[in-house]
Structure 1
Amino acid sequence: MRTQTKAKSVKTPTPEITDGTLVKKTIAGDQTAFEQLVQRYHLPLFNFICHCLNDYDLACDVLQQVFLQLYLYLPKLRTNEPLKAWLFQVARNRCLDELRRKRAVHFSELEGSSDDDDLSPLNIMPDKRPLPDEMAERNDLQAALKEAIDNLPPKFRSVVLLRYAGQLSFSEIGKTLNMPEATAKTYFQRARPLLRAALATQWQTLTAAN
């Protein structure tokens, strides 16, 4: 008796549509393609802008400006490269403009081993024991980290913000800040012990209070 075996169909994951393809579709009149671009970069851009400006409403406005600039510049963009570095460069420049207007923080000096786990600021906490109640609160932790980042030397600050808030790779950070990838990585590694020391001071203050 002859038996027949049916070949099982194996579903291969559909590759993600590239930024370049979405750009070309948008230029051709496909507004859905532009919405996909916005959806792809909305959250990391917003997190980065919020960290820079510390103002939710202003961050919303700046984010809209970034995507408006993207829409206007679509015909001029290189479609063979991801848009991430370009978008964060635009976002950073917009943040600098707002900060200069507010005169709140002078970021004019910002010019100037990589494991995925270093994307989380929690990994630089000085102690692995359970956090005190005050530090365990998300808002308090974010405030402590923001203060520590704000006190970094200017040349380190933008690299750290792009790494933590924007979740950019060192290659993307280098493109965004117009510096070699190795320099971005070096700045980040030098900033980590400074952040750890600043958080350790706050940690000691909180634990002493308890």
Structure 2
Amino acid sequence: MSEFFKAELKDRFLDYALSRTDYFEIQTLYDEYLRPNYSLEFVVKLVQDILDYDPSLLDVMSGNGMDLFLLASTPSTEDFLDEGGFMHLYVKEEEKWDVFLDQMSSTRKISKEDKKQIKRHSPSLKREKTMLFGLVAAVAFSFLFTVFSMINGAFLQPEYVPADEFERKLEYLREQYIMENERLRQELNAMKQASDTLNL
């Protein structure tokens, strides 16, 4: 059940108590307003809510094994209802929430006409779009250049050898060449000697 409906029922309970000049059972409120859709416990809860808000709104007597058995109005009941009762309190609370939520949502929704006006009268947006496209193009060009440089450096360009390493390799190759020549000369001399001995 909504808080609005509960506030309405509380006011009706107080109004009923005000219309009576004597004590009445809480069962009477149940029979008058909420039978058969709700339980007697719900009526007791609503009356307890009234008493929790202001104990002077109803005069209560216990009996028959119940804390709330007989009810009657008090002088403050009429004053409270004249001020608006629980419905007035509910409306005030809702208004507070509305004001609070309005303050929280500081962004105002722009109507379609306002959007059209903004689009028509704002050349800075066109300039910003142009600048944005230029910026995106520059970033894309930079990215492509970086990718090209990485691929070119990794796969297409030859490796350069430092000069001192080149000279070491060249010296090594010379030594290999000299050693190979020496070996071949020795083999040639050995073959000459073998052929000379065969010719003799």
TM-score range, shorter chain: under 0.3
Q: TM-score, normalised by structure 2?
A: 0.21
| Structure (1 or 2) with the greater strand fraction | 2
| Structure (1 or 2) with the greater helix fraction | 2
Greater RCO between the two (CA within 8 Å, min separation 6)?
1
Bigger CA radius of gyration: 2
Q: TM-score, normalised by structure 1?
A: 0.20
